[in-house]
Structure 1
Amino acid sequence: EENVQESRREWMLLMMERAGKKNSNVKHRQFWQQDNHPIEIWSLKVFEQKLNYIHQNPVESGFVTDPIGWKYSSARNYGNNDQTLLEIDVN
């Protein structure tokens, strides 16, 4: 059943189709990035850099203007937002 509340459906499908066309292994749409490169988190500085990168992904993709605006982001926890989905120990 189609979610009538999702106004970005067509745009999201278009973005996934564009990503899929860049990869010959994908027939229709690609949701996840093709490659990943694990990085050892060996210092607080590296942790903060990677956390910031993750929090900025929805902003860079144009879904929100601020990381706290993304419903599923732990940025809400770090920003002391009361509307978090999961409790995360940020200490």
Structure 2
Amino acid sequence: MDDSLNYYIPNKGLTVHAYVYMSSHIHLIISSQENELQDIIRDLKKYTSKEFIKAIKKLPESRREWLLAKFNYAAKRVKKGVSYKVWKDGYHPVILDTSKKIEQRINYIHYNPVVSELVYHERDWKNSSYAIYEEDNPEIPSVKAQPLW
């Protein structure tokens, strides 16, 4: 996913302000001056779906057959002519038009791994932009995120 987001930054005018990758979903705070966000999300889902399926087929994954069957079943349910469906349709945009809303949403997504009991503190979840918001943290997240303040 890092490579995909980092591709969209210069090529689609995407700015990533905050993110958290979870095992079953992703939280993003993004903006773009060049493209509609729904188009970026659509293209990102399409590309990452293909890459996920390629990786599952290629890597020695013990759950390979189960995963492919689940994604195939999901594709057949929506009848869109694809063999595998990885992502749910749509996305849930939230307009962040005040500094209070921005801060609340950033805190919410960074705290998600704690709520899920995967880590004790946000800084412990490596698949996150938390480090760019934490003062005096030398770690740089792998996605080139731009803080909102």
TM-score bin (small chain):
0.5 to 0.7
SS in 2 for 1:55: helix
Specify which of 93, 103, 111 is matched with residue 48 of structure 1.
Answer: 103
Query: Structure 1 residues 62, 55: closer, same or farther in 2, change over 3 A?
Result: same
Identical aligned residues as a percent:
34
C-alpha deviation, 1:39, in angstroms: 1.9
Taking the aligned partners of 2:129 and 2:141, their CA distance within structure 1 comes to 9
* Structure-2-length-normalised TM-score: 0.37
- 1:77: Cα distance to partner? 1.3
The aligned residue for residue 88 of structure 1 is: 145
The structure whose residues are more often helix, as a share, is: 2
Counterparts of 1:1-91 in structure 2 under 5 Å?
A: 1-2=60-61, 37-80=92-135, 81-86=137-142, 87-90=144-147, 91=149
For structure 1, list consecutive stretches of 5 or more residues without a partner in the other structure.
Answer: 4-24, 26-30
Normalised TM-score (structure 1):
0.56
How far the C-alpha of 1:72 sits from its partner, in A, is 1.1
Tell me how far 1:85 sits from its aligned partner.
2.6
* Cα 1:45–1:32 shift into 2, 3 Å: farther
- Please list every run of 5 or more consecutive structure 2 residues that lacks an aligned counterpart in the other structure: 1-59, 63-73, 75-85
Distance 1:64 1:34, change over 3 A: farther
Q: Which one has more relative contact order, counting CA pairs under 8 Å at least 6 apart? A: 2
Aligned length: 70
Q: CA deviation at 1:83?
A: 2.2
2:126 and 2:117 mapped to 1: Cα distance? 14
Answer whether contact 1:58 1:67 (CA < 8 A) is retained: yes
Q: Compute the RMSD of aligned alpha carbons.
A: 3.2
Counterpart position of 1:14: none
What corresponds to 1:6 in structure 2?
none
Q: Counterpart amino acid of 2:103?
A: E
Residue 82 of structure 1 and its aligned partner are, at CA, apart by 1.9
